[in-house]
Amino acid sequence: MSREFVEFFAGFRLTPAQRRIAQTLVEHSNDVPSMSATEVAELANVSQPSVTRLAAAVGYSGYKEFRSALIELLRRSPAGSELEEPNEYQRAVNSEVESLQALGARLVERAPIRSAGARIMGSPVLTVVGHRAAAHLAGYFAHYAAKVHPDVRLVTSAGSEMTDTLLASRAVGAEVMVAFVLSRYPVDTAQTLEYAQQLGFTLILITDSEAAPGSQWAEVLLRAAPSSRLIFDTHAATLLTASMLVQAMCDEAPALVQRRLEDLEASIKGRRVYVNQTGRTPSSRRIVSS
């Protein structure tokens, strides 16, 4: 496995299908000089046109030119550049670690996330937006934000249902929207942010790029880069940013948050929401079949 191949493909933003082909080329780098586009497609279990599209995506007119460039890359590879370890899963972890380290370096300036926490806690209603892959991240944030904020409304829908929700939120005092915007940037999210801007929401954007849809309207932009070493992006840095934003909300009003958390804990205990340490719910009864 060629280290140079790994580094070469890491420099491009590829679709999931293209990443699968790139992974195949990395795994079979020693065979590249003799492989046709058809053979690459068969190994990657994709169509031959997909291989051609990968070549175009990395700047070549066709597969032959692309293969020639890869052969030259192999020729120029220094002795001992074969990469036995880490394997593809370890590389994915290492890439995620790099994303987290980059996030940590940016957080030396704490003002943006603290400002976001203050904005959220100053709004009677918090609206949270996320579509497609970002929906689960928006839901994660909304779940924990609702423990310390009195009114959190999650928007993962589009079209008229989205506009109804934003209008209703605005009517009862919503001032702030937290939006999760992940590449490949769904049209639904872009339309939601445009409508939110028209309604006058203050936008806090958690995204992977300062050029993402909605960035031109963002009061606060919190950037968290994904890892792209697997076929689909992974978002540990985004998830951590969401948790830190909840922390910033707590830090903005610690006494109020503490009371809410204590009340919540009492409610949870009274309602027997979680199982006990034995793994059985406190209210469970033995069921005897007749």
- Domains along the sequence of the chain with CATH: 3-84 (1.10.10.10), 109-271 (3.40.50.10490)
The DSSP 8-state label assigned to residue 157 in this structure reads -
Write the pLDDT tens digit of every residue in 113-144: 999 999 999 999 999 999 999 999 999 999 99
Question: What pLDDT score does 190 carry?
Answer: 96
Q: What is the chain's pLDDT, residue by residue, as a tens digit (290 residues)?
A: 566 777 788 778 788 788 888 888 888 888 888 889 999 988 888 888 999 999 999 899 899 999 998 888 888 766 544 545 677 788 888 889 988 999 999 999 999 999 999 999 999 999 999 999 999 999 999 999 999 999 999 999 999 999 999 999 999 999 999 999 998 899 999 999 999 999 999 999 999 999 999 999 999 999 998 888 888 889 999 999 999 999 999 999 999 889 888 898 888 888 888 886 555 555 544 434 33
Question: What pLDDT score does 20 carry?
Answer: 82
Strand 218-223 and strand 174-181: pairing? unpaired
Classify burial at 277, counting beta carbons within 10 Å of its beta carbon; exposed 0-12, middle 13-18, buried 19 or more: exposed
Bridge partners (DSSP) of residue 176 are 126, 202
Q: How far apart are CA 203 and CA 116, in angstroms?
A: 9
